[in-house]
Amino acid sequence: MTKTASPTKLSDLRIATFNMESLDEPPRGRASLDSRIQAMRPQLVRLRADILCLQEVNGQLSDDKSERTLRALDAVLKGTVYEGYYRAVTKSPSGRGVRDRHNLVVLSRFSILGSDEVWNHLIEAPLFRCATSDPAMDGPEPIEWDRPFLYADVDLGDGRKLVVVNVHLRAPRAAFVAGQKRDTHNWKSMPGWAEGFFLATIKAAGQALEVRTFLDRLFDLEQDALVCVAGDFNCGDTEAPLRIVRGDEDDAGSGEFAPRMLTAAERSLPESQRFSVIHRGREHMADHILLSQGLMGWLHHVECHNEALHDEVGSPAAVPDAPESYHAPVVAELTPPQKP
């Protein structure tokens, strides 16, 4: 769905990412929609984002149950500037609106020239046969990613185009292995859990590889392309999935690849402020904004709104209907050079 926004001259540009933590309506939502609006709308307003990448936006059935829409998100955005932004969103494979759970959304003050999602389109799902599966598997089966990534070509004006890639990589939690779980949280055997965790690692790395493949095809066409990859990577700057997406010349051992490298904008934050999630008391940066070399020349300010962040493990146990997200929004402010 696309909405109309007023044309604007390119000046300071604020790009933000925010995991909305399964935004939904009851009964699936863990809290009332009104309480989530009260908690999250001020966070979005504070971002003052020109381009906003959102993750974990659930879809709701229309009254006639013919399709799913983003009714809960629309309620959160009502009365804010984002209500009139251009929009790109992941779609349901059924063709009936958006996905049931965990949609990706890009909201832009600037026109979106085109958008699409990529899900095992550039990288073929690897085959694997689980050793611990019960019953035993007949043969290897594909390990498909859990979700796509979404890209949008944004018209910044002045002849400039920005490619925005919105991602949500697999969390480091063991994936399903047939017959190896007692219930949702408890495994029957350590080998079963280990194999499930291995599968989760492959899924996250595979998603990252597909993003990197997309980026390299883009740079093949335009070496100095303006690219921003933002979202919930579920990993830190030095972990494998993020290293795959960044494509550091040190890892490749070749300086000729430097123009293809992405840099994590939050590196400019003091280390004490560099966290978007608290997990069992440990602060870490799971949400990132990665910028191509051309965009890094525009960067002058980064924020991570983590002042009121709660522990994603301890807090739900203490407050099961908490309305806030357990991810902090991250925003990068860029100042484009003025064209002569």
pLDDT at 137: 97
Q: Which residue has the higher pLDDT, 8 or 155?
A: 155
pLDDT in tens, 119-177: 999 999 999 999 999 999 999 999 999 999 999 999 999 899 999 999 999 999 999 99
Closest C-alpha among 158, 155, 85 to residue 114: 155
Put simply, whether the predicted model's pTM sits higher than 0.85 gets the answer yes
- Give the pLDDT band of residue 339 (cuts 50, 70, 90): confident
Q: What is the mean pLDDT of the chain?
A: 95
CATH number assigned to the domain comprising residue 298: 3.60.10.10
pLDDT at 7: 45
Parallel, antiparallel, or unpaired for β 51-57 and 60-61? unpaired
Percent of the residues in the chain that have a pLDDT greater than 70, as a whole number: 97
Q: Is the peptide bond before 135 cis (omega within 30 degrees of 0)?
A: yes
Q: Which residues contact 108 (CB under 8 A, 6 or more apart)?
A: 5, 50, 51, 52, 85, 86, 87, 88, 152, 154, 164
Range of the domain at 169: 13-334
pLDDT at 2: 47
Asked if residue 13 has pLDDT above 90, the reply is yes
Query: If 0-12 CB within 10 Å is exposed, 13-18 middle and 19+ buried, where does residue 78 land?
Result: exposed
Rounded distance, CA 42 to CA 21, Å?
A: 16
Query: If 0-12 CB within 10 Å is exposed, 13-18 middle and 19+ buried, where does residue 209 land?
Result: middle
Asked if residue 9 has pLDDT above 60, the reply is no
Rounded distance, CA 117 to CA 152, Å?
A: 9
Is 209 a member of any domain?
yes
Question: Which of the 8 DSSP states describes residue 129?
Answer: -
Is 339 a member of any domain?
no
Rounded distance, CA 113 to CA 90, Å?
A: 16
Rounded distance, CA 14 to CA 49, Å?
A: 5
Beta pairing partners, 153: 114, 163
Is 264 a member of any domain?
yes
Are 151 and 214 a contacting pair, CB within 8 Å?
yes
Are 262 and 290 a contacting pair, CB within 8 Å?
yes
Exposure string for 300-310, b = 16+ CB within 10 A, e = fewer? eebbbbbeebe
Are 26 and 63 a contacting pair, CB within 8 Å?
no
pLDDT in tens, 76-109: 999 999 999 999 999 999 899 999 999 999 999 9
Rounded distance, CA 213 to CA 209, Å?
A: 6
- Give the pLDDT band of residue 3 (cuts 50, 70, 90): low
Closest C-alpha among 10, 42, 13 to residue 265: 13
Q: Is the peptide bond before 27 cis (omega within 30 degrees of 0)?
A: yes
State mean pLDDT over 224-252.
Answer: 96
Asked if residue 299 has pLDDT above 60, the reply is yes
C-beta neighbour count of 1 within 10 angstroms: 12
Number of domains in the chain: 1
Rounded distance, CA 163 to CA 152, Å?
A: 6
Is 6 a member of any domain?
no
- Give the pLDDT band of residue 338 (cuts 50, 70, 90): confident
Q: Which residues contact 301 (CB under 8 A, 6 or more apart)?
A: 332, 333
pLDDT in tens, 37-73: 999 999 999 999 999 999 999 999 998 989 999 999 9
Rounded to a whole number of angstroms, the CA Rg of the chain reads 20
Is 71 a member of any domain?
yes
Are 99 and 91 a contacting pair, CB within 8 Å?
yes
Percent of the residues in the chain that have a pLDDT greater than 90, as a whole number: 90
Q: What is the DSSP string of 213-280?
A: HHHHHHHHH-TT-EEEEEEE-SS-TTSHHHHHHHT-HHHHT-GGGGGG--EEGGGGS-GGG--SEEET
Asked if residue 1 has pLDDT above 50, the reply is no
Using alpha carbons only, give the angle 294, 298, 301 rounded to the nearest 5 degrees: 135
State mean pLDDT over 263-283.
Answer: 96
Are 112 and 87 a contacting pair, CB within 8 Å?
yes
